[in-house]
Structure 1
Amino acid sequence: MAENGAIRSVCIVGGGSAGWLTAGLIAARHGRDLKVTLVESVRRGTIGVGEGTWPTMRNTLRKIGLSETDFMRATHASFKQGAKFARWRTGAADDFYYHPLVLPEGFPDLDLAPYWNADPNQSFSDAVCFQEALCEASLAPKLMTSPDYVGVANYAYHLDAVRLGELLAEHCTGKLGVHHIDDDIIDVRQSETGDVSAVIGERHGAIEADLFVDCTGFASRLLGEALGVPFIDRSDVLFVDRALAVQLPVEEDSPIASHTISTAQRHGWIWDIGLPTRRGIGYVWSSRHARNERIEEELAAYVGPDFARLSPREITIRSGHRAQFWKNNVVAVGLAAGFLEPLEASALVLIELSADYIATAMPANRAAMDFVARRFNTMTRYRWDRIIEFLKLHYVLSERKDSAFWRDNRDPATIPQDLQDQLELWRDSPPGEHDFSSAHEMFPAASYQYVLYGMGFRTRARPGRLANADAAQDAFDRTAALKRKLTATMPTNRELLGRLAQYRFPPL
C-alpha cells in the first residue's frame, strides 16, 4: 500500500462468474488508475451446472463492454422471460403459475390486484401481463432488429456458467487490462493490523494488493478462514441442502422454453433450463426429508427414458451467509459470501450487485475503507434477508400435504417474523411500493403479487380501493391486445437464436 494509504491495487482470489464479473466491473470503471489482478487455479474448475440470470445482467455486460451477440454465442445462451412454477400449490397436473419479468400493466401507478377476480381459466399473471402468453408459446422477447440488450419485453438469460467464466476471462485480460495469474493459493499473509497483505501462491510466491476480493467459493479462504468471519446457517428457514443435476442433449429443432421451469416434487422441486443444445435439469431437495434413492427415482421419472444414459451429479448446498461480507481489507463475492438455493436465480444477481458496489464505491484510501465496508455490510445483509423471505414465500403458501417437506415448510417456527407480518397485512391490502421502501430491495411489490396470487392467496376486496374501475378495465384490455399482437409477430426462442448464429444484433 502506498505511504498515504491510497488504494492502488486490487487482487481478486478465485475466478468463475464471481471473480471475473468483479474484475470486469472494477477494471471497466477504473481503467489504468487501479491495478486489477485475478489469481486462480485454472485446474480446479467451477461448479457451473448452468445458470439463470436476472435482467440486471444485460446492464452489467454493457458496462464491461461486451456485445450481446458475442455474449450469447460464447455462452450458448437463450432468452429467459421469467419462471413457471408447476405443482407448487396443490400438486395437481394442471397446477401452475408464472412469475414473469414484465410488471403488471400500469404498475405501480395503477394496481390491478384489487380489480382482478380469480378466474379458473385465467391466472393473475395472464390477466395483468402479456408475458405469460409469450412464454407459453416459447416466443422470444425481442427481434433480430432489436439493438443490443433492448427487447420488446423485459428479459434475462439462461446460459452455460462455465463458458461465461471463460468469456469474461478472455474479455477482461484482452480488453480491460486485468492481470491473470494461474496459481494455487497455499497461504494468506496478514499484517499486524489484521489486514491481508498478500496471498501466497505455490508458484508465484507473495501476491500483494491493497484490497482483496474473496471469490474462493464455499471455502471462503480469506474472509472465512483467514479473517475468521463466521457462517450463519439459514437452513432453519430454507430446508434444501442437496441438488442432483443432469444435462440432457436436445434435438436442433426442438422448442426452447422462454422461461425457467420449476416443478414441485414430494421432497423439493426440479429446475429445467433450456439452452440451444441441451436442457439443464436438477432436483433440489432436503436430505432431512428424503433419501437419495427416492430423489433419483423422481428425477428419472421427470426426465424419462434418456435418464438411463446420463451421469447425475450431486451438489451439496449450504444455505446461509457470512456474518460480515467486508472485513478489514477483504470483501467476499459469490459463494465465499454465501449461498441459499437456486430458486429465483438470486446467486448471480448478488454477484452483480456486490461487484458493482465495490467498483462504484471503491475507497480512495485505507482510512475510508472501513466506512465503505460498514455500508456494504448493512446493505448486503438487508438483501440476503429479503431474498430469504421471498424464497420462503413460495413454500409457505403451498397447500401440498403429500410429504413432511411441505408440511414442515408451513411451520410458523420456520417462517421469518417479518414475512409473517407482511402476509397478515396483505390479507387486507395487496403488496404495494409502500411495503418496500428501501433503495436496496431485491424484489418489487409486483413480484410478491405474482407469487401470492399465483399460489391462491387472496386479498379481501375493500370498496375504497375500487375507485379506478374504468382505468383498470382499460389496462386489462391493453394487456389482451398486446398478447394478441405479440404472439402473432414475435419469433420463437429457437428461431431467433438460429438467426443470431448468422447475424448480429445492431449495436446500442
Structure 2
Amino acid sequence: MDILKVAIVGGGTAGWLAANHLGLVGVDNKQLSITLIESPDIPTVGVGEGTVPAIRQSLKKFGISEAEFITRCDATFKQSIKFVNWLDKDSHGDNNFYHHLFDMPPVMGKELTQKWLANKYRAYAENVSPQHAVCEAYKAPKNISDVEYSGSLGYAYHLNAAKFADLLAENAKTRFGVNHLKANVEQVILGNEGEIKSLVTDSHGCLDFDFYIDCSGFASLLIDKALKVPFNNKAEQLFVDKAVVVQVPTLADEKIPPFTISTAHQAGWIWDIALSTRRGVGFVYSSQYMDDETAVKKLDTYLNGQLSAHQFRTIPMTVGYRARSWEKNCVALGLAQGFLEPLEATSILLTDFAAGFLASRFPRSTQQLTSMSSRFNQVMEYAWERVVDFIKLHYCLSDRTDSQFWIDNRDPATMSDELKQRLALWQKFVPNREDFFSKFEVFDLENYLYVLYGMHFSTQETTEMNAELTELENYQKRLIQVTKQLVDNLPEQRPLLEKIKMYGLQTV
C-alpha cells in the first residue's frame, strides 16, 4: 500500500521541524499529504532555547530568511558554550572556564594540539581558533554586510522556542502546504498487525492516515501509550533529573554574551542563555544529591536574591531514549523519542538530525517499513549512545571533589565501554578523525578536542609532527593576526541585531 497520508501528532519545535523536513519531500511527491494535529490545551515546554550550527543548514533549506528568523524569534548569535567551574577551584582557580567553540580547529589542528600539550601556556581553544578571543570580547560572528547564514566564524543561535515553533509552523503551512488541525487525540486505534490504524480526536472525529509521527512530547501518545515501545533509561550514566527554570528580563543596553554560560555547582550545572530582552536560566541538578529546597535557594543565590521576583517552575527530567524510535508505521521525534539534559543543546540537535534523516529516506509504501525502520533504529540508537557519551565526558573528566556527585561521576562503572576505550586510547594519542568512524556521530572530533583539552585531559606528549615546524610557527603568527583583525572589526551583538532588524541581511 502506498504511503500518501502522514499525520504528525504534536506541534512545538519537534512537530514543526518534522513538518518542514517532510514538506521538502512533499515538493517532489505531490501525492503526499501532511497533517499536523496539535492540542490547543498543551503549551510548549520551551526549555530548548539553544541550538548548534547545523540548524543554519536546515533553516536555509526550508527557505526561511535569516533576518526574519532573528527578528521574529528574538534570536541572538551563539558561538560557544562557556563552561565555568567544571574543574576544581583550588587547583584551577575560582570561576575557571573553557570554551567549546563552534569554529572548527584548522587542518593543522593535530599539530597545534601536540604543540599545546608540550607547554599549555594558554587555554586550548585560544591556541587553535580566533573565536575564543572574539567570544571573550563579546563580539558577533559576522557583519551586517555578510550574506545570510554565513559569517567570519561558525555560529548557531539562542532563540525563543515558542516563537520559533510559530515561525516554523507558518513556513510549513504556506510554503509546503502542511495541514494544521487543532484537536486533542483521545484514542489511538490499532490495526490487526499492531500498526496504528486511526486517531480519534475530540473535534474532528476519527482520522485515518498511512504513517504517523509522534511529536507529543513527554506524553508519547503513540510510541509509548499505544505501541508500548520500552524506554532505555540512562540515569545510571547521567545523574541529573530535575531543573528549576526561570526567565529574567534584561536591560535594553545590556551586552549580550555570544555564548551559552554553563556554570557547574555541587550537584549539576546552571544554564544561562541571553536573548535580546531576557535571559533564560535553568538550575539543573540530581535529586539523588540535592533536594528541591536547596536547589531553589542556590538558584536564588545565582540570581543575586532576585528569584522570588519572577515566576519559576521545576521540571522533572527522565533521561534516556526509546528502545526503538520507529515502530510499525510510527516514528517518534523530539521529546517523544528521548531526552537528555540540555548541556550541549542536544534536544533540538537530535530532533533536527532525526527529522532530516527520516525525510531523506521516507518510505513510499508499507512494504518498505520493515527494512527502513530497522536501519533508522540502528542509526538513532548509535546517535543517542554517542551523545550520552559526550555528555558524560564533561562529568567524568572533572577533578572536582567538593561533593559525592562529582566523585561518583568519575566511577568507570557509570561510563559506557566505548567511552572508556576512547579515553584509554586518548591518554596515549591525540584524537584524530579515524577515531570517529561513523557519519552518525552528531558530536565529532572537534567537539571532543575542545572538551578534552578544555578540561585539561592528559595525553602523552609526542614529538612527532606531520607539518614542518616553521610552517606551524607561520600558521600561529597568522592566527594571531587574524584574531586581532576579527576582534577589532566584528561588532558587538546588540548593535548588529538592531541593524539586522532594521535593514535585513544580504541574500545569496
Aligned counterpart for 1:74 among listed residues 53, 72, 75: 72
Match of 2:149 in 1: 149
> Is this contact kept in 2: 1:215–1:333, CA < 8 A?
yes
> Is this contact kept in 2: 1:105–1:479, CA < 8 A?
no
| SS of corresponding position for 2:264 | strand
Deviation for aligned residue 1:85: 0.4
Aligned counterpart for 2:12 among listed residues 2, 9, 16: 16
Match of 2:104 in 1: 103
Aligned-partner residue type, residue 438 of structure 2: S
Quote the Cα distance in structure 2 between the aligned partners of 1:117 and 1:222.
51
Larger mean Cα displacement after TM superposition, 40-49 or 344-353: 40-49
Larger mean Cα displacement after TM superposition, 236-245 or 437-446: 437-446
1:220-369 → structure 2 map (5 Å cutoff): 220-369=220-369
Shift of the 179–451 alpha-carbon distance from structure 1 to 2, 3 Å rule, reads: same
Deviation for aligned residue 1:53: 0.5
Aligned-partner residue type, residue 7 of structure 2: C
Match of 1:371 in 2: 371
1:89-100 → structure 2 map (5 Å cutoff): 89-91=87-89, 92-100=93-101
Deviation for aligned residue 1:417: 1.5
| SS of corresponding position for 1:253 | coil
Quote the Cα distance in structure 2 between the aligned partners of 1:118 and 1:207.
65
Deviations 1:203-237 (A, max 9, x none): 11112111100001112111111111001110000
Deviation for aligned residue 1:105: 2.5
Quote the Cα distance in structure 1 between the aligned partners of 2:423 and 2:48.
33
Deviation for aligned residue 1:78: 0.3
Deviation for aligned residue 1:117: 3.9
| SS of corresponding position for 2:235 | coil
Aligned counterpart for 1:56 among listed residues 40, 54, 57: 54
Quote the Cα distance in structure 2 between the aligned partners of 1:469 and 1:292.
55
Match of 1:88 in 2: 86
Aligned-partner residue type, residue 43 of structure 1: D
Match of 1:490 in 2: 490
Aligned-partner residue type, residue 228 of structure 2: G
Match of 2:434 in 1: 434
Match of 1:33 in 2: 31
Aligned-partner residue type, residue 168 of structure 2: L
Aligned-partner residue type, residue 106 of structure 1: V
Deviation for aligned residue 1:471: 2.7
Quote the Cα distance in structure 2 between the aligned partners of 1:329 and 1:471.
56
Aligned-partner residue type, residue 354 of structure 2: S
> Is this contact kept in 1: 2:114–2:430, CA < 8 A?
yes
| SS of corresponding position for 1:385 | helix
Deviations 1:79-128 (A, max 9, x none): 000100000011332411010001113256x5421111466762000011
> Is this contact kept in 2: 1:49–1:160, CA < 8 A?
no
Deviation for aligned residue 1:362: 0.9
> Is this contact kept in 2: 1:82–1:98, CA < 8 A?
yes
> Is this contact kept in 1: 2:48–2:345, CA < 8 A?
no
> Is this contact kept in 1: 2:48–2:347, CA < 8 A?
no
Quote the Cα distance in structure 2 between the aligned partners of 1:75 and 1:448.
30
Deviations 1:159-216 (A, max 9, x none): 0101111111122122221000000000001111111111110111112111100001
Aligned-partner residue type, residue 66 of structure 1: I
Quote the Cα distance in structure 1 between the aligned partners of 2:254 and 2:366.
55
| SS of corresponding position for 1:262 | strand
Gaps of 5+ in 1: none
Match of 1:445 in 2: 445
**RMSD (Å) for aligned C-alpha atoms:** 1.4
Match of 2:131 in 1: 131
Aligned-partner residue type, residue 102 of structure 1: D
> Is this contact kept in 1: 2:7–2:34, CA < 8 A?
yes
Aligned-partner residue type, residue 458 of structure 1: S
> Is this contact kept in 2: 1:81–1:259, CA < 8 A?
yes
Aligned-partner residue type, residue 389 of structure 2: E
> Is this contact kept in 1: 2:112–2:127, CA < 8 A?
no
> Is this contact kept in 1: 2:78–2:157, CA < 8 A?
yes
Aligned-partner residue type, residue 164 of structure 1: F
Gaps of 5+ in 2: none
Match of 1:208 in 2: 208
Aligned-partner residue type, residue 157 of structure 1: Y
> Is this contact kept in 2: 1:213–1:330, CA < 8 A?
yes
1:507 aligns with 2:503: no
Aligned-partner residue type, residue 162 of structure 1: A
| SS of corresponding position for 2:237 | coil
Match of 1:477 in 2: 477
| SS of corresponding position for 1:247 | strand
Aligned-partner residue type, residue 58 of structure 1: R
> Is this contact kept in 2: 1:255–1:494, CA < 8 A?
yes
1:181 aligns with 2:177: no
Larger mean Cα displacement after TM superposition, 166-175 or 398-407: 166-175
Tell me the TM-score normalized by structure 2.
0.97
Deviations 1:460-487 (A, max 9, x none): 1123346532232223222211110000
Quote the Cα distance in structure 2 between the aligned partners of 1:196 and 1:107.
52
> Is this contact kept in 2: 1:50–1:280, CA < 8 A?
no
> Is this contact kept in 1: 2:48–2:348, CA < 8 A?
no
Quote the Cα distance in structure 1 between the aligned partners of 2:32 and 2:332.
19
Aligned-partner residue type, residue 4 of structure 2: R
Quote the Cα distance in structure 2 between the aligned partners of 1:131 and 1:444.
18
> Is this contact kept in 2: 1:115–1:472, CA < 8 A?
no
Quote the Cα distance in structure 2 between the aligned partners of 1:299 and 1:365.
52
Quote the Cα distance in structure 1 between the aligned partners of 2:2 and 2:477.
59
Deviating 4+ runs (over 6 angstroms): none
In the alignment of these two chains, the number of paired residues is 503
Quote the Cα distance in structure 2 between the aligned partners of 1:371 and 1:285.
40
> Is this contact kept in 2: 1:262–1:271, CA < 8 A?
yes
Match of 2:217 in 1: 217
> Is this contact kept in 2: 1:13–1:39, CA < 8 A?
yes
